[in-house]
Amino acid sequence: MIYKADYTGWYCTYDERFWTEKDVVDGLCPDCKRPIEQLSEHNYFFKMGQYQERLIDHIRTHDDFIRPVSRRNEVLGFLQTQTLGDLSISRPKSRLSWGIELPFDKDYVTYVWFDALVNYISALEYLPQEKPVGLRYWPADIHLVGKDILTTHAVYWSTMLMALERPLPHSIFAHGWWTVDGEKMSKSRGNVVDPNAMIDQFGADAFRYFLLREVPFGQDGDFSHSAMVTTINSALANGIGNLLSRTLTMIERSCAGVIPDRGPAVLPELEARIEDLARQLPGRVEAGYQGLLFRDVLLMIEELNSACDEYIDKSAPWKLAKQPETQPQLHTMLNVSARALRLLAILLYPFMPQAAQQMIHQLGLSLELSQPVSDTKNGWDAPLAGSRIQKGASLFPRIESKPQGAKHVTDTSTPAQPTPATPAPAAPTAAAATPSAAPSAAAPAAAQPAQITIDEFMKVQLKAAKVLAAERVPKSEKLLKLQVSLGSEQRQIVAGIGKKYEPETLIGKTIVIVANLKPAKLMGIESQGMVLAAGDSEVRGLATFIEDVEPGTKVK
């Protein structure tokens, strides 16, 4: 199965690898882009070609042997369209002195792929055991490799195992690349994103969540700092983190910090949907793990999160809290939301262990997620009422970033004020006509609206602002005190929208404000801007956005 023969090919000294004629472009290594040279030498070869048909048959009869399906088809197509050659397994010591010497020829060392692949089994035998470790740990259930070394593992390693009469892995899964500007990350190309820097900026949990959610596992993904910010803000800050925060806040305010028991249904159809999702979710998640469908798993988890957000919005707990007779319905809503949060924490633990454990802590539960979790004690039907919450800091603070496309400048001078335009005079009232002159008197012409010039309008600075916190102004039915983010700064704004909106419903919304209005005091509280809303005597709605807009973005 091993023999010695001459070999000529294109060789990359940096990667220590031979390339075929079709792989080479402009005399450069297709991987590191360095110049290569043509070498001729004697080497030892493994008779890989004799296992070609056997390997093809194995792939055809074992659907999960190579995954994802696109990679399976790629390898099968390769084997079915060309003759599989034999594999060079050595290098002469005269050119490569540091390798492992061949036991049958001291002038040669093994080539890195051949001796490295054997280590998948031989490494398991290093420590003495009562019985060989390899018999316990081989074959592998999942052999995870990068897509660029799929042929090495699906073809080279598989045929080597066939020659050794050892079983093949149950499944070889080839993951994709994280690229930057469409190019593979590589030290030799100098375009590597430092994961430690990402963890320092975003945290390990959020970084891991993004990497596993951004693209289906097995496909390529182009890394983008802005995409990570968007995912963290939408799925974590505005999603899971917001659900935890608003639920615990309501329990704290309405139930003295103790999770209440369920009462009568608030919205039976939505509650049934949430319960159905919750009961099915563990099984669906387990199936997702078996298929390495990590993105799908996270989307399933987010589906329950979204259902709970809809449930809270439609239940309107801020209204239920106002009347004693609706307190039991409020308790139901809070209990259902807390149960969902417990399940979300358990299912999120493999992705975000620190955040998930913190969720459990804030729910007031003594549950260690690193240990097996009993469904009877922590499943949907497990009791939860009576737990005293321990609300803490926000799990996923929203990440503010500067708007793209324009310089972000903070003006510390006194802002210019819009100059009020002079109202246009009202049209003169028509004279009364005699009965014989006309059937009725002419109606007065409508007054023309005040007009301003474009220069006057340009003095008004409208900006997008994110509501971070909201509360009622004491002794006022109309005023709300808002804390808003403008990206580079935070402001306090007092707005007369309290009859239309409850404070809790505004948190997380992106609204439009007049940013350069001179500060003024309303009921003794300073307001550093003005919220834009529609309506005459009563507020009909806030000015907001359809798309996700970064705080501080100018509104034109």
Q: What is the CATH number of the domain that holds 151?
A: 2.170.220.10
pLDDT category at 537 given cuts 50, 70, 90 is low
The pLDDT of residue 441 is above 60: no
Q: Across-strand partners of 42?
A: 6
The pLDDT of residue 225 is above 70: yes
Rounded to the nearest 5 degrees, what angle is found at the Cα of 220, between the Cα atoms of 224 and 346?
80
Res 439: pLDDT: 39
Task: Report the number of distinct structural domains present in the chain.
Answer: 3
Res 375: pLDDT: 77
Query: Is 204 contained in some domain?
Result: no
Residues 171 and 275 in one domain: no
Residues 158 and 272 in one domain: no
Res 331: pLDDT: 96
The pLDDT of residue 387 is above 70: yes
pLDDT category at 435 given cuts 50, 70, 90 is very low
The burial of 44, by beta-carbon neighbours within 10 Å (0-12 exposed, 13-18 middle, 19 or more buried), is given as buried
In this predicted structure, which of 76-85, 397-406, 441-450 has the lowest mean pLDDT?
Answer: 441-450
Q: At what angle do helices 294-315 and 204-214 cross, to 10 degrees?
A: 110
Mean pLDDT score, 417-424? 34
In this predicted structure, which of 255-264, 288-297, 332-341, 501-510 has the lowest mean pLDDT?
Answer: 501-510
Q: What is the identity of the amino acid at 374?
A: S
Residues 234 and 168 in one domain: no
Res 295: pLDDT: 95
Res 547: pLDDT: 77
In this predicted structure, which of 2-11, 49-58, 247-256, 380-389 has the lowest mean pLDDT?
Answer: 2-11
Residues 109 and 231 in one domain: no
Between CA 544 and CA 528 the distance in angstroms is 19
Residues 349 and 485 in one domain: no
Tokens of 326: 């609706």
Tokens of 547: 């798309």
51-107: pLDDT as tens digits = 999 999 999 999 999 999 999 999 999 999 989 988 888 888 888 888 889 999 999
Q: Taking all residues of the chain, what is their mean pLDDT, rounded to a whole number?
A: 84
> Looking at residue 526, which CATH number applies to its domain?
2.40.50.140
Whether 470 contacts 480, CB under 8 Å: yes
Whether 43 contacts 19, CB under 8 Å: no
| Domain end marker among 147, 175, 203 | 175
Query: Is 187 contained in some domain?
Result: no
The pLDDT of residue 133 is above 60: no
Res 135: pLDDT: 65
Residues 114 and 259 in one domain: no
Res 426: pLDDT: 35
Q: Across-strand partners of 495?
A: 480
% of the chain residues with pLDDT over 70: 89
In this predicted structure, which of 48-62, 95-109, 180-194, 527-541 has the lowest mean pLDDT?
Answer: 180-194
Query: Is 439 contained in some domain?
Result: no
Mean pLDDT score, 443-447? 47
The pLDDT of residue 321 is above 70: yes
Mean pLDDT score, 359-370? 93
Residues 166 and 287 in one domain: no
| Domain end marker among 378, 399, 424 | 378
Mean pLDDT score, 467-474? 87
Residues 166 and 233 in one domain: no
Query: Is 414 contained in some domain?
Result: no
Residues 230 and 369 in one domain: yes
Res 309: pLDDT: 93
360 three-state secondary structure? helix
The strand ranges marked E within 383-537 are: 462-472, 480-485, 490-495, 510-514, 520-522, 525-527, 530-531, 533-534
| Domain end marker among 378, 395, 410 | 378
Res 437: pLDDT: 39
Res 127: pLDDT: 66
Whole-angstrom CA distances from 100 to 89, 231, 441 are: 11, 47, 110
Residues 170 and 32 in one domain: yes
Strand (E) or helix (H) holding 250: helix 241-254
More confident residue, 306 or 457: 306
More confident residue, 216 or 412: 216
Chain centroid to CA 344: 15
Between CA 323 and CA 319 the distance in angstroms is 7
More confident residue, 412 or 50: 50
Residues 47 and 139 in one domain: yes
Query: Is 425 contained in some domain?
Result: no
Between CA 427 and CA 269 the distance in angstroms is 58
Residues 20 and 168 in one domain: yes
Res 268: pLDDT: 93
Res 11: pLDDT: 86
Query: Is 32 contained in some domain?
Result: yes
- What range does the domain containing 52 cover? 2-175
> Is the full-model pTM beyond 0.75?
no
Query: Is 348 contained in some domain?
Result: yes
Q: What is the identity of the amino acid at 449?
A: P
Res 518: pLDDT: 86
Whether 544 contacts 510, CB under 8 Å: yes
**Among residues 241, 237, 229, which one has the least CA distance to residue 401?**
229
Query: Is 211 contained in some domain?
Result: no
> Looking at residue 314, which CATH number applies to its domain?
1.10.730.10
Tokens of 517: 């209005």
